[in-house]
Amino acid sequence: MLKFAANLSMLFCEYPLAQRFALAAQAGFNAVEIQFPYSEPAQTLTHALKSADLHMVLHNLPAGDWAAGERGIACHPDRMAEFRDGVEQAIHYAQVLGVPQLNCLAGIVPPNVSQAQAKATLINNLQYAAHALEKASLRLLIEPINHFDIPGFFLNHTQQAIDLIAETGSHNIRVQYDLYHMQRMEGELTQTLQRHMTQIGHIQLADTPGRHEPGSGEINFPFVLNAINAMGYEGWIGCEYIPASTTEAGLGWLNPYRK
């Protein structure tokens, strides 16, 4: 049975964050994920989770100055100390919130930094993060993202992520496979998932174009989701999409998958 988690950074954004947990539970979700929880004290979020009888399945490592356009710093050679501080902060939040795995955004390659420098930095940082997370009984994820939405982002393809994990030598890193990003970059969603399922630790979804809810665009979600279920995927699927109108109005696509 497929399990869906509401991404509270994208869903129910008509309401303050503190109210989104209860709304997700009322909509039938048993779990949530948040891109960046760091604006709120971890204990405050824990209280909201417990009050709504939810658990959190994912959040990201700190990714630099998001408001200024940064999308991760893991490939930035001059910010390795900041990255490591962020790993420690993320582990603290994960342990308080009960989150089992954390996603690392590779980032946009800075000007005057070569692809080789960016890759070497990223591998070093991933090795550090994977080891630190393993000591804390957590797993690390890396996510390929399409270069249309985020030009210059270092990691764009599934195979690139698989190869990068191999180069780290770590057994504590998996791929976060976002159907929206990979439809834009590659297509071949179900075949790619089938080929790499053992190395995929989390799945996210949104339709394209527009990054709205399933059924709003070109992806055949009944086919794709049924295929994922048939593959025996036991992890969560994060609903990381922008509602075309209100979150509640766009949740009808979930009805066939509810228990």
Q: From CA 108, how far away is CA 147, in angstroms rounded?
A: 10
Which residue among 88, 167, 188, 240 is the active-site one?
240
In 10 A of CB 6, how many CB atoms?
28
Q: From CA 144, how far away is CA 218, in angstroms rounded?
A: 20
- What DSSP assignment string belongs to 78-136? GGHHHHHHHHHHHHHHHHHHT--EEEE---BPPTT--HHHHHHHHHHHHHHHHHHHHHT
**Do you find a cis peptide bond into 41, omega within 30 degrees of 0?**
no
Give 248's contacts (C-beta < 8 A, 6+ positions apart).
Answer: 27
Closest Cα partner for 178 from 199, 209, 206? 206
Tokens of 185: 């970059």
Which residue among 143, 188, 218, 234 is the active-site one?
143
Tokens of 10: 């994208």
CB of 210 closer than 8 Å to CB of 204? no
The backbone torsions φ and ψ at residue 232, rounded to the nearest 5 degrees and listed phi first, read: 85, 20
Q: Is 143 a catalytic residue?
A: yes
The backbone torsions φ and ψ at residue 183, rounded to the nearest 5 degrees and listed phi first, read: -65, -40
Q: Is 40 a catalytic residue?
A: no
So what's the pLDDT on residue 258? 83
So what's the pLDDT on residue 259? 64
Tokens of 99: 């989150």
First-last CA distance in the chain:
8
In 10 A of CB 84, how many CB atoms?
14
- Fold of the CATH domain 3-257: TIM Barrel (3.20.20)
The backbone torsions φ and ψ at residue 110, rounded to the nearest 5 degrees and listed phi first, read: -65, 155
The domains of the chain are located at: 3-257
Tens of pLDDT, residue by residue, the chain (259 residues): 999 999 999 999 999 999 999 999 999 999 999 999 999 999 999 999 999 999 999 999 999 999 999 999 999 999 999 999 999 999 999 999 999 999 999 999 999 999 999 999 999 999 999 999 999 999 999 999 999 999 999 999 999 999 999 999 999 999 999 999 999 999 999 999 999 999 999 999 999 999 999 999 999 999 999 999 999 999 999 999 999 999 999 999 999 998 6
Coil, strand or helix at 55: strand
* Radius of gyration for the chain, computed over Cα atoms and rounded to the nearest angstrom: 17
